């Protein structure tokens, strides 16, 4: 009897904690760990989300430079060696194609159709407050990568950090690079197309059906092999 009473008490305590963290609003949307705020996404975790998003997830932690400096001065600058708002792993090695994350956007009649959009970095250029100690300045080396991908250790010669292909019958490019969020008309089908200044640090190889052209960035010469 005492054992059953103890189990019931623990279950009631867990239910109370869960109820405090999980909220179903009058609009039918669910929020987890959002306090008294109303969830705007269908599922909002650690944030209210927004009405244009089905699921919104926010990784908690310091959000301003002052909060970060407070943690650092307390000796906590190794507290976040790496973090992710969403972490997905696919361990099904028998899959014909194994995806960590797979997304699809069908079509937008009114503008851009984007299968996956990623951004990194603040809206404005970041700079440290003046007068900080040198050891803090040395800790801050923030870099931003819109897309950071690695691949390796499988079939030799078939490991691609980023793979882009142009499909269908319309013109375009498998990989398009630009110095701003600018679209350019492409009158053909290309594996790669660059709009803006393009720099290669190394040797650029170009192969045709008759010749292979080699452009040396060190000697600035283009010659056939």
CA distance 78 to 62: 13
* The model's pTM: 0.73
Q: Where exactly are the structural domains of the chain?
A: 1-60
- For the stretch 168-204, pLDDT in tens is 999 999 999 999 998 999 999 999 999 999 988 888 8
CA distance 25 to 8: 28
Backbone torsions φ then ψ of 222, nearest 5 degrees: -115, 120
Q: How many CB atoms lie within 10 A of CB 132?
A: 14
- For the stretch 87-128, pLDDT in tens is 899 998 888 899 999 999 999 899 999 999 999 988 888 888
Greatest Cα-to-Cα distance within the chain, rounded to the nearest angstrom: 89
């Amino acid at each position: 009897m005492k054992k059953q009473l103890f189990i019931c008490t623990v279950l009631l305590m867990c239910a109370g904690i869960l109820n405090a963290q999980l909220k179903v609003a009058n609009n039918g949307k669910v929020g987890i760990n959002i306090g008294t705020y109303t969830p705007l996404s269908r599922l909002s975790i650690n944030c209210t989300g927004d009405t244009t998003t089905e699921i919104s997830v926010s990784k908690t932690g310091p959000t301003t430079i002052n909060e970060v400096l407070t943690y650092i001065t307390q000796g906590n600058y190794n507290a976040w060696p790496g973090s992710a708002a969403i972490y997905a792993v696919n361990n099904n090695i028998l899959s014909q194609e194994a995806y960590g994350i797979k997304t699809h956007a069908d079509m937008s009649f009114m503008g851009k159709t984007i299968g996956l959009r990623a951004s990194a970095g603040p809206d404005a250029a970041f700079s440290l407050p003046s007068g900080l100690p040198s050891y803090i300045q040395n800790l801050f080396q923030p870099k931003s990568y819109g897309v950071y991908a690695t691949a390796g250790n499988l079939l030799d010669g078939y490991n691609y950090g980023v793979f882009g292909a142009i499909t269908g019958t319309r013109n375009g490019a498998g990989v398009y690079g630009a110095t701003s969020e600018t679209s350019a008309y492409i009158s053909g089908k290309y594996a790669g197309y660059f709009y803006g200044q393009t720099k290669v640090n190394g040797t650029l190889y170009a192969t045709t059906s008759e010749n292979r052209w080699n452009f040396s960035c060190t000697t600035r010469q283009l010659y056939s092999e």
